[in-house]
Each structure stands twice: as structure tokens, then as C-alpha cells.
């Protein structure tokens, strides 16, 4: 798809690393599927993937971890 930020590049699917910080917890998700703009590098995550990330980050918050490295698996 065409990039909504720079309006020049096109996105291609790839895997990215997402860092989420909430309260005292930092979560690093690796291998997250996303569309990445080849021109400006803007990352687009689908709402489905985003929902998964939020769900798993809530689990980690309940466990009170301070830092966790997670592999995203669909």
C-alpha cells in the first residue's frame, strides 16, 4: 500500500521490533509482522496484531515484570 506519512513510498511486509512501555514495565516484541515504508520507514501494524500485543502486554503487567523480551508468534 502507499505510505500515508510521506505519500511517496510504498510499504512492504516485514518483521519489526516493537517496544511497549507501560508504568514500570518495558516489553520488547521481536518478529512482529508489519508493513514498513521503503521510503521513510514508517511502520504499520494491523489492528489484529496490535490487539495481540496489547493482550500480551496486559499479561506481563499482571506479572509485574520490569523488562521482558518476547517473540511475537501469530
| Contacting positions for Zn ion (CB under 5 A) | 3, 5-6, 9, 37, 39-40, 42
43 or 68: CB nearest Zn ion = 43
- Residue 21 β-bridge partners: 26
Least CB distance to Zn ion at residue 44 (A) = 10
Other CB atoms within 10 A of residue 34 CB: 20
6 or 65: CB nearest Zn ion = 6
3 or 70: CB nearest Zn ion = 3
Least CB distance to Zn ion at residue 41 (A) = 7
Least CB distance to Zn ion at residue 14 (A) = 14
23 Cβ neighbours under 8 A, 6+ residues apart? 61
Other CB atoms within 10 A of residue 41 CB: 12
Which three cell numbers, joined as nine digits, stand for 9?
Answer: 513510498
Amino acid at each position: 500500500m502507499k505510505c500515508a506519512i510521506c505519500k511517496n513510498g510504498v510499504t512492504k511486509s516485514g518483521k519489526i521490533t516493537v517496544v511497549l512501555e507501560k508504568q514500570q514495565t518495558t516489553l520488547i516484541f521481536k518478529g512482529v509482522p508489519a508493513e514498513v515504508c521503503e521510503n521513510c520507514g514508517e511502520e504499520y501494524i494491523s489492528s489484529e496484531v496490535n490487539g495481540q500485543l496489547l493482550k500480551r502486554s496486559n499479561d506481563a503487567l499482571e506479572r509485574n515484570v520490569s523488562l521482558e523480551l518476547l517473540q511475537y508468534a501469530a
